[in-house]
Structure 1
Amino acid sequence: MHNPHITRRSALLGAAGLGLGAAWPLRSQAQAWPAKSIRFVVPFAPGGSSEIVARAAAAEMTKLLGQSVYVDNKPGGAGNVAMQEVARAEDQHTIILGHIGTLAVNPFIFDKLPYDANKDFRPVSLLAKVPSLYLVNNDVPARNLKEFVALAKAKPGQLNYGSAGNGSAGHLAFEYLKMATGTFITHVPYRGTGPQLTDLLAGRLDAASVGAPAVMQFIKTGKLRCIATGTPQRIPQLPDVPTVAEQGFPGFEMTQWYGLLAPASLSQGALDTLAAAAAKAITSATAVDHLTKEAAIAVGSTPAEFARFIGVEQQRWKPVLARAKVKPDN
C-alpha cells in the first residue's frame, strides 16, 4: 500500500545515505593510503647513484607504510619518458625519483618537454645529496687534478670523458670543470652510468665525473683513480683526495641530488603520509649507514623545503647550461 510519508522519509534517508556514501569513501581512502604496493619509478638505467638512493629509501618506506615500495627502472630520453608517464599517473600509488637532471636541467635544454617540472609534480622530500667525483682510468698519467689539467692543456681535444647522457649530472659536472679550468676535453655521451663505467674501467674512456655511490667500490679496489671531489670539503670516505677547490679553483662545488616526487594528482592526505614516511625512512639508521658506506649524504626534508630547493637549483643551472650550450641527445 502506498504511503506518501514513508516514501518521503525513505527518500530523505536515501539522500542522506548517498551523502554519507559520497563522503565516507574519501575519508576511508585517506586513512587507508597506501591501499596497495607503491611503484617507485627511477628514470635511469640500473647501476647508478639514483638506484642506490632509491633502494635505500624504498626499503625503509616499505616498513613505515605497511605496503611494499618497489623500485622500477624506466630509462630513456634523459629521464623524460618516465617523468611524462608518472606526471599522468592517476592511481595514487606511483611516485618517481626527482633529480638535478629532470628538474633543474631538462627544463632549460629541451625546446619542448613532455612534462612541466614545476606544475605536474608535488615535491615530497629531498632524499640525498651525492658528491660528484672526478675520475680517470689507471692508464691516464695524472695523479691529481693539476696534472690532469696540465695534460688536457698539452693535448687539447685529445682526451675524452664519458657521461650517462647529454644533460646528465655527470655531463654538467665535467662541463663545469672544463669552464673552471679552461680546458677542452671531448664529451662522449652514453645511455646510462653502467655502460659508461664499463668503458672507463676498460680504458676506452680517459675520464668521467660520476656520483660517488656508483664508483666507490672501483676506487677502493684501485680499478679507477679519483683525482678530485666536487664537494666543498673532502669526504670522509676518501680523506686523501683533495677537492677541486683545494687544487687551485676556489669556490668550485658540484654535487648531485635526488628527491621524491609525486604526481600533482596525489591527494593531500596521501602526500602528508608519504612525505612523513620518506623523511623518516631516509634518515633512519639503516638508510644512513647504507648511504654513508656509498659516500652519499642522507637529507630528508619537508615538501615545502624541497620545493624551495628545486627553485634555487633551477636558477643556479640555467646560466651554466646556456654558457656551456648543452643540448639534449637526439
Structure 2
Amino acid sequence: MGKKIVRLVTLVLSMFVLATSGNVVMAQQYPIKPIKLIVPFPPAGATDVMGRAIAQKLSEGLGQTVLVENQPGAGSTIGTDLVAKATPDGYTLLLASGSLAIAVNLYSKLGFDMMKSFAPVSLVGHVPHMLVVHPSVPANSVKELIALAKAKPGQLTAASQGNGTPSHLELELFMTAAGINMLHVPYKGSNNVMPDLLAGNVSVFFDSVPSSMPLVRNGKLKALGVVGDKRLPTSPNIPTLAEAGLPGFDAKNRFALLAPAGTPKEIVQLLNTQMAKVVAAPDLVARLGSQGAILEASTPEQLAAMMKTDVAKWARVVKDANVRAN
C-alpha cells in the first residue's frame, strides 16, 4: 500500500511539473498567433475608438496582430462573459470600461464574477465626463445649480443615456452628494439626449468631454464641472466637481485591459509591460488626448484594487437609488 501511495504522489507531482513547465514554455513563445481584443460595445463609440488605437500599438510592440472584435449588449456583459469563458492563454483579451463595475451590480444572473473571473493586466486610462447644462439654466457654477435644485426640488430635468448607464449613476451620485432631487429623464444613448438638451427640453446632463466640449466652446451648452480629481489640460478653466463644492466627488469612467483568470503570470506581465509603453506613446497620447482621453497604466495589483473600489462604490449608488436595468 505504501509503494502505491508513493507512486501516486510521484505521478501527481510529475503531472504538476509538466503542466507548469508547459505554461512556462507557452509564455516564453507568446504570442505566436493573432490576439483577439474584445470590445463589449458597438463600433465607433468611445470604447471602440480606444480599443482600436490600443490594438494597433500592441500589435507593433508584440510583433503580432491584435484584432478588435465588437461584442456589444446587456451593459457590456455579453462580450465580458465571452472573455471570462475563453481559454486563459493570452489570446483573448477584454477592454473593459467603467460600465462593467456598474453592470455587475445591476444584472443578477451573470456567468462571471468581476473579481474572480479575470486576471487584471493594466489600467488604460479614462475619458472624463463633465456636468453640462442648457444656457437657459440660471446657474453658472455647481454651487448655483445645487442652490437652484434645492429651491425647486424635483423640477429641474436631468437626462441620462439610459437607466443604469454611467451618466445615470453619476447623476444619482451627484444628487446624493449634493442633497438634491432632480427629475431623471432616461434616453437611449447620448445621440438621443442631445437634440432635447440643445432645445432646452431637458436641463442637465453628465456627458463625455469629447461629445460636449465642442458645444460648450460654441456657447450652446454651459460646462459647470469636470468629473474627476484633475482639471482638463485642454480646458483648465473648468473646475472639478470636488473643487466646485463636492469634496471627494469622483466617478472616473476607467478603461482597463483584462485577461481570463488563470492566464499565466508571465503573459500577464508581458502584456502589462507592453501596455505601459502603449499609453506612454506620444502619438497615441496626442491622438486620444485630443478626444478627451487621459491615458494611464498601472500594475495588475493596482488595477485589481481599483476594480474592487469601483464595484463597491457603484453597489452603494445602485442600492440607495434603487436603480434597475432597462
**TM-score after normalising by structure 2:** 0.81
Q: Retained in 2: the 8 A contact 1:245–1:253?
A: yes
SS in 2 for 1:308: helix
Q: Where does 1:209-224 land on structure 2 (aligned, <5 Å)? A: 209-224=206-221
Quote the residue 1:245 is aligned against: 242
Q: Where does 1:66-215 land on structure 2 (aligned, <5 Å)? A: 66-90=63-87, 92-102=90-100, 104-197=101-194, 199-201=196-198, 203-215=200-212
Partners of 2:37 and 2:238 in 1: how far apart? Answer: 34
Q: Retained in 2: the 8 A contact 1:46–1:194?
A: no
Question: Shift in Å at residue 271 of structure 1?
Answer: 2.3
RMSD: 2.9
Q: How many residues align?
A: 308
Aligned pair 1:62/2:32, yes or no? Answer: no
With over 3 angstroms needed to count, the CA separation of the structure-2 counterparts of 1:217 and 1:44, relative to structure 1, is farther
Higher mean Cα deviation, 190-199 or 49-58?
Answer: 190-199
**1:293 paired residue among 276, 290, 294:** 290
Partners of 1:158 and 1:272 in 2: how far apart? Answer: 52
Q: Deviations over 1:110-150 (max 9, x none)?
A: 32222211121111101103322111244544433234334
Partners of 2:189 and 2:34 in 1: how far apart? Answer: 27
**1:310 paired residue among 299, 307, 321:** 307
Partners of 1:142 and 1:22 in 2: how far apart? Answer: 64
Partners of 2:42 and 2:310 in 1: how far apart? Answer: 24
Q: Which amino acid aligns with 1:325?
A: N
With over 3 angstroms needed to count, the CA separation of the structure-2 counterparts of 1:325 and 1:23, relative to structure 1, is closer
Partners of 2:126 and 2:20 in 1: how far apart? Answer: 41
* 5+ long unaligned stretches in structure 1: 1-20
Question: Shift in Å at residue 319 of structure 1?
Answer: 2.6
With over 3 angstroms needed to count, the CA separation of the structure-2 counterparts of 1:22 and 1:328, relative to structure 1, is closer
Q: Retained in 2: the 8 A contact 1:47–1:214?
A: no
Partners of 1:142 and 1:206 in 2: how far apart? Answer: 11
Q: Retained in 2: the 8 A contact 1:49–1:214?
A: no
Quote the residue 1:275 is aligned against: 272
With over 3 angstroms needed to count, the CA separation of the structure-2 counterparts of 1:46 and 1:316, relative to structure 1, is same
Q: Retained in 1: the 8 A contact 2:279–2:285?
A: yes
Q: Which amino acid aligns with 1:184?
A: N
Aligned pair 1:321/2:318, yes or no? Answer: yes
Partners of 2:305 and 2:20 in 1: how far apart? Answer: 34
Partners of 2:242 and 2:69 in 1: how far apart? Answer: 37
Partners of 2:157 and 2:73 in 1: how far apart? Answer: 24
With over 3 angstroms needed to count, the CA separation of the structure-2 counterparts of 1:65 and 1:131, relative to structure 1, is same
Question: Shift in Å at residue 209 of structure 1?
Answer: 1.0
* Bigger Rg, which one: 1
Higher mean Cα deviation, 301-310 or 27-36?
Answer: 27-36
SS in 1 for 2:263: coil
SS in 2 for 1:208: strand
SS in 2 for 1:245: coil
SS in 2 for 1:246: coil
Q: Deviations over 1:275-325 (max 9, x none)?
A: 221222112222222233233321111212211221233333333332222
* 5+ long unaligned stretches in structure 2: 1-17
Quote the residue 2:232 is aligned against: 235
Q: Deviations over 1:186-221 (max 9, x none)?
A: 323344444444654565543221232443344334
